[in-house]
A and B are shown apart, each in its own frame.
Chain A
Amino acid sequence: MRIVADRERCMSAGMCALTAPEVFDQDDEDGRVLVRESDPEAEAALRAADAIELCPSGALAAR
């Protein structure tokens, strides 16, 4: 699994960092998504999948 984030679509709601903090962070500048761990394992991978589904702007995907 590889987590990818589209920073152009990102609206900085922070749902990803809230849901899977070990996988996602937010840019200090404008709150846009930063991927901390693109290949999470076990529990973190499950939380990342939740975050992908919850993202309000559809900016996240797993490939």
Chain B
Amino acid sequence: MTAIETAAEETPHGMPYHRETRHDPPAALMALQERPLRRMTYYPDGAEGWLVTGHAASRKVLADPRFVTGEQFVRSPTDQPHFFVSSSRHVPPGFFFFFDPPEHTRLRRKVTGVFTLKRMNELGDRVADIVDERIAAMKAAGNAADLVREFALPVPSLVICEMLGVPYADRDHFQRTSSDIFDQALPIERRDEAGAELFGYVLGLVPAKRSDPEDDLLSSLAADPDLTDEEVGGIGMILLLAGHETTANMFGLGTLALLEHPDELARLRAEPGLMTGAVEELLRFLTVAHAGMMRIVKEDAEIDGHLLRAGEYLTVAPHAANRDPARFERPGELDLGRNTQGHIAFGHGVHQCVGQQLARVEMRIGFAKLLEAFPDLRLAVPPEEIALRTDMFIYGVDSLPVSW
């Protein structure tokens, strides 16, 4: 029996997060998938809870209302305090991710009308303009750039700023605070502070949105008599935070993955019609939400023959679930033509990503235009020199030097 097999027999101490490769989940995590739902100990106190690495079990627990996010998280699946731990210490009003139905439902429905498939498709032309402007700026500056700084971060930031009505000129502030909130290696005090700063920033925009409304989401939320200013601030914070960090990392890491899979990249260049499915496959293959989706068991629940007791913690590892061979053939291969239906890169259940249709539109247009504009796009440094964001709540690359 190998060391990994031995470890798989035991109750693992936390969720493995040290990666051996740039694009694959940790081997030690994948070894645990032999048991799709299993006991695991949590930090810092060693309390036993659960880890879910199987695709079917992940979908089951994420859709089950007995597993909740509306409680304060004090334990982490790794030796670093999880985003859920720092964020749920001081949940801003309106920050609906840390509410359960019916309050979650009330708050989420305030914004779902602007994120429909139809509205997002209508936004396509504007997204295309933003992407074109960034590409023109890259070309004007020479034949090399940091793709994260010049493209991956600005594109979704500009889009979400326009949607919300947040001044893009304030990007240094909200990008820095968002990054600190998601940096699990930072002291928890600093992350709490960053959370309060970002909330305070959005809250500060609300009075002017009410007195002098514009055609943006913060203005319409501010005009809603059912919402307090603080709730508008919390809703705005969640959308600003999730609206730029996630897609930015998919652009950065996704471009790296394509450049490191030249056959797949050539296939996509030859068949642009593959783009819709290619985006889904990149979402599945990379699953940037690699810190895990935590829940607390609200009432005893039996799942697949296991009894999950009230108060226990549960962590879904979506990056493992999306590589489950029981659901996806050859799961470790990037195959831009495969059927990825059912991947859980956006989660599952009532908390499934509210901005997923926006993310899809941004990625389809962004990747298509990037590949078209730079037929000779290549890495400007050896791939092993690229710093990976292993400590961040959302996985990705800090910078991606490319040339063309």
Contact = CB atoms under 8 A, between A and B. Distances in A.
A26 B108 CA distance: 15
B347 interface: yes
A13 B356 contact: yes
Interface in A6-63: 11-15, 17-19, 21, 25-32, 50, 53-54, 56-58
Contact of A14 (B63, B108, B341, B356): B356
Size class of the contact patch on chain B: 20 to 34
Nearest to A16: B117
Given A11-B108, A27-B113, A57 B350 contact: yes
B109 A57 contact: no
B357 A30 contact: no
Tell me what chain A mostly uses at the interface: helix, strand, loop, or mixed.
loop
A13 B348 CA distance: 10
B6 interface: no
B116 A57 contact: no
A20 to B, nearest CB: 12
Nearest to B120: A14
A29 B341 contact: no
A54 B350 contact: no
B353 interface: yes
Nearest to B358: A14
A30 B63 contact: no
A11 B112 contact: yes
A30 B350 contact: no
B113 A28 contact: yes
B349 A31 contact: no
Interface of B: 62-63, 105, 108-110, 112-113, 115-118, 341-342, 346-350, 352-354, 356-357, 360
Interface of A: 11-15, 17-19, 21, 25-32, 50, 53-54, 56-58
9 contacts: A11-B112, A13-B346, A14-B116, A14-B117, A14-B356, A17-B117, A27-B116, A56-B350, A58-B63
Given A19-B341, A56-B62, 14 more contacts: A11-B112, A11-B352, A13-B356, A14-B115, A17-B117, A18-B357, A18-B360, A25-B118, A27-B116, A28-B116, A28-B118, A30-B110, A31-B115, A31-B116
Listed from nearest, the 9 A-B pairs whose CB atoms lie closest are A12-B112, A31-B112, A56-B352, A26-B116, A31-B116, A14-B117, A30-B109, A30-B113, A17-B117
